[in-house]
Structure 1
Amino acid sequence: MTAAATRAAWTIVGLLWVVALINYLDRQLLVTMPGPIKADLRLGDEKFGLLSSVFLWIYGLCSPIAGYLADRVGKRRVILASLIIWSAATFASGLVTSFGGMLAARATLGVSEAFYMPAAVSLIVDYHRGATRSRATGLHLSGVYAGSVLGGLGGAFAEAFGWRPVFLVIGGLGVAYAVVLAIVFPSPPQDDLAEAPEDIIVASHGENAFRSLLSTPGFLLLLAMNMLDGAAYWPVRNWLAEFFRGELGIAPAWAGVYGPMTFNGAAFVGMLIASTLSDRWSVYTMRARALIPAIGFVVAAPCLVLMGAVDHIPVVLACVLVAGMSQGFLDANLMPATCTVVDLRYRATAYGLLNFAGTTAGGFMTYAGGMLKERDVPLGTMFQLAGGMIFVAGLLLFMVRPLGTRGLRRETGGAGSGVDAPENS
């Protein structure tokens, strides 16, 4: 890779890091300010849980379409349009006066944010091939956790300034950054980018993207794994602040710090560690992209079970730290692992399907948590269930076998066939 290509590759990561931060800051604000929002809009726990669930359901349903469009109309256009629309929806969240208005704002946020992540991670792996792939993906997604950590301060800001100004300021900043991004986005120096062993073409040019993906065993394992991960960790994220406040007696201003901020800060660190380990280990085996998050999940599972069984705050915090790090292990490696099992032309579509599986399952479990809480079932019980799901998700990751494990060759049966196939054993 030339110096110009290297600069462009890391510039893309830096620019999109800020977008990822805004993306998760916007979606996280709601769950870190439950008290004032519920009081102002007169909401119970079930309706408040529904606000997060509707976002996740719509986000998930739109994700496959978002990935498919990103593969076809251009990833830059999708990223810019997504950022502008979700920032406007965040701004509108600060103006609503009813449950219906907030529900509409969260639904719009779900549609628009769904289009960002498949396009962004696919664009990054287009630039970073091989030795920097997990680090680039991890650094970009560290913006996700930086935004989530900042979102954890929402309760403190709401007490100081009110919850509405927080939405208004963050939404306005997002629109302003979209203008900056439109000006400075670099053009891709495609001819300077070297191929990586993971970059495979396994389908004929006439094959449908969805048919190709859903007939690939390795991708189906990742799909099932991500559904379990979403069902486990989305409700943990969304209810941690309420868990610390309502069940462990932490003050509202600190509940977001103890819960989402701790989880997401640990994920941030875990992502940086896992991305470096994965890039180094992948030199010897491409299975590293799946094995590292698998190990993280198996270690985290008993911590989630313990977290729901004790009320000793230092122990609970330690468990939250381990669980958060395991999520970071996956986030650094989900797209690189996907690259080892899917056709390179369908990466954004693949990530969209993964998002669909994870977020829709997470939405159902978040809503279920609210319903159970109103029926006096403690949130700790849901966290213990999450531990079981994360353990199974880890086992599925151990089963993923990259298509390129034995290397790939370019078929030479016809000029311009452009099809890669596994070498014979």
Structure 2
Amino acid sequence: MATQIRNNMGKAWMVVGLLFIIAMLNYIDRTMITTMRTSIVAAIPMTDAEFGLLTAVFLWVYGLFSPIAGFLADRFSRSKVILVSLFIWSFVTWMTSYATSFHELLLTRALMGLSEACYIPAALALIMDYHKGNTRSLATGIHMAGIMTGQSLGFLGGWIAENHRWNTAFFAFGIFGVAYTVLLLFILRDAPRELKSEVVRDAPRNNFLQTLKTLFRQRSYVLLVVFFALVSVMAWLVVGWLPTYFQEKFHLSQTEAGLYATAYVFTAAIFGVLTGGILADQWSRRNKRARIWVPAIGLFVAAPAIFLASYTTVLAVAVGCFVIYAFTKSFTDTNTMPILSIIVDARYRATGYGILNFCGTLVGGLGLYFGGALRDAQIPLDIIYRSAAVLIILAALAVIGIRTKSDPL
């Protein structure tokens, strides 16, 4: 029995490592397009609103398909959904390198949203299947560190674009993704039967509409959706326009701005998701609401940091504030799926997270697009970031309102 437990834990952590690489690839693609803005616009002329639309349309498609993709992962094989997602992502990334017009680039970003919609709900649900109890937040945090690693490497897009062509990176990552898909065909599997809860194995499964009704009957799930939407619109406003903010406000080159906006900020986020995971796992042994309090406390620290960053004219202070924001805001990333697992039946985890993605990316895409539109109207990014600080506070209040099954009525 002890040997079997060790083997299962080894498989559980191996799965996290395999998914770490996929998450990193997904987010390199998402982030690097923002760091090569100057090179892309030089090759394919477009307005700031149109450039914002490139990321916004990705988010809208990604969000619209996330609930259905999550339902498929709950209903069928999570690992197979992940493999299909990775293959499509790799093919579309390769296709992006051949885009020659704004509309072609817009189409590939939309297809990218479709491919990535299938990944996150299935991946996080698979991690929850493998990891129980006191390892859940850390396992989620390590996976999210893959996301942050991808974001922190996003500056490579600007550097490669300046030294080669804007589409070189898309070609290279697309080929790598295909090769990695072939490797995972042989080693990525669903959780062993003995690791799955009884409710997953034996309980009848609802159809998609019944699943939606079941989820939205729960007040805590509705609050989690509100929380995730507020965090998402704030996070995408920061991520989408941070390279431009550094470049314009502090008169930096495209490569320098991309470095400060990704390598510094998202490296802090890597430490944030790991720290948030460890704190939540350890505190949850004594407090059942620890996975709720850790992200709330993180957001209450992040809000004044980003507010100060919008006022300062000193580069070092601005970078430091965004580093603090990234570190503490990341406590939400490592604990959202564990919170969902506390309040939602195991049969609906991937669908539940897919709905979170739908709501979060829908408002995030709107925020990105209107951020570009506001810039076209000569409204500075400083004001946009001050508004984001208010959204952070509202998100913290929403997550505090969530009740777990063990909370008193």
Give the distance between the partners of 2:372 and 2:8, measured in 1 at CA: 48
TM-score, structure 1 length as denominator? 0.91
> What is aligned with 1:366?
368
- For residue 175 of structure 1, the aligned residue among 165, 178, 181 is 178
Determine if contact 1:241/1:259 at 8 Å carries over to the other structure. Answer: yes
**Aligned AA for 1:298?**
F
2:79 and 2:189 in contact (8 A); partners too: no
Instruction: Report the counterpart of residue 129 of structure 1 in structure 2.
Output: 132
Deviation at 1:286, TM superposition (A): 2.3
Please list every run of at least 4 consecutive aligned residues from structure 1 whose deviation after the TM superposition is greater than 6 angstroms: none
1:153 deviates by 2.2
Query: What is the aligned partner in structure 1 of residue 311 from structure 2?
Result: 309
Selected match of 1:155 from 146, 154, 158: 158
Q: Give the conservation status (yes or no) of the 8 Å contact 2:155–2:255.
A: no
> Per-residue CA shift, 1:350-392, capped at 9, x if unaligned?
1001111111111000011111111110011111100000111
Alignment match, 2:400: 398
Confirm or deny: 8 A CA contact 2:129 2:196 kept in the other structure: no
Matched, 1:102 2:76: no
Kindly indicate whether the alpha-carbon contact (under 8 Å) linking 1:340 and 1:404 is maintained by their aligned counterparts in 2.
no
**Quick one: structure 1 residues 205 and 170, their matched pair in 2 at CA, closer, same or farther if it must change by over 3 Å?**
closer
1:262 Cα deviation (Å)? 2.4
Aligned equivalents of 2:260, 2:187: Cα separation in 1: 37
Residue 296 of structure 1, CA deviation:
0.5
**What one-letter code is carried by the residue in structure 2 that aligns with 1:250?**
L
- Equivalent AA in structure 2 for residue 152 of structure 1: F
Give the deviation of 1:285 after TM superposition.
2.0
CA gap of 1:220–1:124, structure 2 versus 1, over 3 A, is same
Q: CA, structure 1 residues 365+194, in 2 after alignment: closer, same or farther (shift >3 Å)? A: closer
- 1:5 paired residue number: 8
Measure how far apart 1:176 and its partner are.
Answer: 0.9
Q: Tell me which moved more, 396-405 or 263-272.
A: 396-405
Residues 23 and 150, structure 2, Cα contact 8 Å, conserved in 1:
yes
Letter in 2 for 1:312: V
Counting only pairs closer than 5 Å after superposition, residues 311-390 of structure 1 correspond to structure 2 as 311-390=313-392
> TM-score of the superposition, structure 2-length normalised?
0.95
Structure 2: any 5+ residue segments left out of the alignment?
A: none
Aligned AA (1:54): V
1:210 to 206, 209, 212: 212
**C-alpha separation in 1, matches of 2:250 and 2:364:** 23
Q: Which amino acid aligns with 1:227?
A: A
Output the aligned Cα RMSD: 1.9
Determine the C-alpha separation between the residues in 2 that align with 1:402 and 1:163: 48
- CA distance in 1 between counterparts of 2:405 and 2:305 reads 33
Q: Would you say the 8 A contact 2:78–2:190 is kept in 1?
A: no
Give aligned-pair identity as a percent.
39
Counterpart AA for 1:11: M
- Residues 7-156 of structure 1 mapped to structure 2, 5 A cutoff: 7-156=10-159
Partner in structure 1 of residue 225 of structure 2: 223
**Change over 3 Å in CA distance of 1:391–1:204 after alignment to 2:** farther
- Matched pairs, number: 403
- Residue type matched to 2:234 in 1? A
Give the unaligned 5+ runs of structure 1.
407-424
Deviation at 1:190, TM superposition (A): 2.4
The 1-side partners of 2:120 and 2:50 are apart by 27
